[in-house]
Amino acid sequence: MLRIVLFVSGCVIFLIIFSVSVISLLENEKSASLKYFITGCVLALPFFFLAGTGFHGNGLTGWILAGTFLFVLILILIPLKPANFNKRSIPESGYDERDTMFSRNDLVPGSQQFIDYYKMRPENRVPDDLFRANPGLLRGGTVFYNKAAFAAAESTFETVERLHFLVSGMKSNNRINTDRETITTFIKNWGKKLGALDVGITKSKDYHFYVVGGRRERYGHPIGNNHEFAIVITVEMDRQMMASAPASPTVMESALQYLSSASIAVQLARLIRYLGYSARAHIDANYELLCPVIARDAGMGEIGRMGLLMTPRNGPRVRISAVTTDIPLDTDSSTHNPAMLYFCTHCKKCASACPAQAIPFEDRSNIDGVLRWQIDSEACFTYWTKAGTDCGRCVTVCPFSHPNTLLHNLVRKGIENSILFSRLALKLDDFFYGKRPSPKKIPGWLPGN
Reported as a pLDDT band with limits 50, 70 and 90, residue 106 is: very high
- What's the pLDDT score for residue 61? 61
**C-alpha closest to that of 319 among 283, 270, 288:** 283
**C-alpha closest to that of 449 among 189, 146, 221:** 146
Indicate the range of 14-18, 229-233, 249-253 predicted with least confidence: 14-18
Task: Please report, in angstroms and rounded to a whole number, the separation of the first and last CA atoms in the chain.
Answer: 66
Q: Which amino acid is at 360?
A: P
Indicate the range of 60-69, 150-159, 201-210, 242-251 predicted with least confidence: 60-69
Reported as a pLDDT band with limits 50, 70 and 90, residue 178 is: confident
The stretch 260-289 carries a mean pLDDT of 98
**Which alpha helices (DSSP H) does 205-337 contain, by range?**
239-242, 249-274, 291-297
Q: For residues 96 and 89, what is the distance between their CA atoms, to the nearest angstrom?
A: 19
Q: Which amino acid is at 97?
A: E
Beta pairing, strands 210-212 & 95-96: parallel
What are the beta bridge partners of residue 366?
A: 371
Q: For residues 238 and 240, what is the distance between their CA atoms, to the nearest angstrom?
A: 6
The stretch 150-154 carries a mean pLDDT of 98
**Which alpha helices (DSSP H) does 101-162 contain, by range?**
101-106, 112-120, 125-132, 147-162
Do residues 350 and 398 touch, judged by C-beta distance below 8 A? Answer: yes
Q: Which amino acid is at 150?
A: F
**C-alpha closest to that of 17 among 1, 52, 47, 41:** 41
- What's the pLDDT score for residue 72? 67
SS3 content of the chain, % helix, strand, coil (to 5): 50, 10, 35
> What is the per-residue pLDDT across 26-59, written as a single tens digit (0 to 9) for each?
898 999 999 999 998 888 887 777 676 655 444 5
Residue, of 1 and 154, whose pLDDT is higher: 154
Do residues 98 and 219 touch, judged by C-beta distance below 8 A? Answer: yes
CB under 8 Å to 359, separation ≥6 — which residues? Answer: 305, 306, 307, 350, 351, 373, 375, 376, 394
- What's the pLDDT score for residue 62? 56
Indicate the range of 94-103, 237-246, 380-389, 399-408 predicted with least confidence: 399-408
- What's the pLDDT score for residue 232? 98
Reported as a pLDDT band with limits 50, 70 and 90, residue 68 is: low
Biggest CA-to-CA distance, the chain = 90
- What's the pLDDT score for residue 9? 75
Q: For residues 371 and 4, what is the distance between their CA atoms, to the nearest angstrom?
A: 53
Reported as a pLDDT band with limits 50, 70 and 90, residue 74 is: confident
CB under 8 Å to 298, separation ≥6 — which residues? Answer: 200, 201, 202, 230, 232, 331, 332, 334
Q: For residues 321 and 375, what is the distance between their CA atoms, to the nearest angstrom?
A: 22
Instruction: Please say if the pLDDT value at position 107 is more than 90.
Output: yes
Q: Measured between alpha carbons, how far is residue 35 from residues 18, 29, 46, 428 in Å? A: 10, 10, 18, 11
Q: For residues 254 and 137, what is the distance between their CA atoms, to the nearest angstrom?
A: 13
- What's the pLDDT score for residue 228? 97
- What's the pLDDT score for residue 56? 47
The stretch 408-421 carries a mean pLDDT of 91
Query: What's the alpha-carbon Rg for the chain, to the nearest Å?
Result: 25
> What is the per-residue pLDDT across 294-320, written as a single tens digit (0 to 9) for each?
999 999 999 999 999 999 999 999 999
> What is the per-residue pLDDT across 235-248, written as a single tens digit (0 to 9) for each?
999 999 999 999 99
Q: Which amino acid is at 342?
A: Y
Q: For residues 406 and 415, what is the distance between their CA atoms, to the nearest angstrom?
A: 14
Q: For residues 78 and 400, what is the distance between their CA atoms, to the nearest angstrom?
A: 22
- What's the pLDDT score for residue 57? 46
Read off the pTM. Answer: 0.92
Reported as a pLDDT band with limits 50, 70 and 90, residue 67 is: low
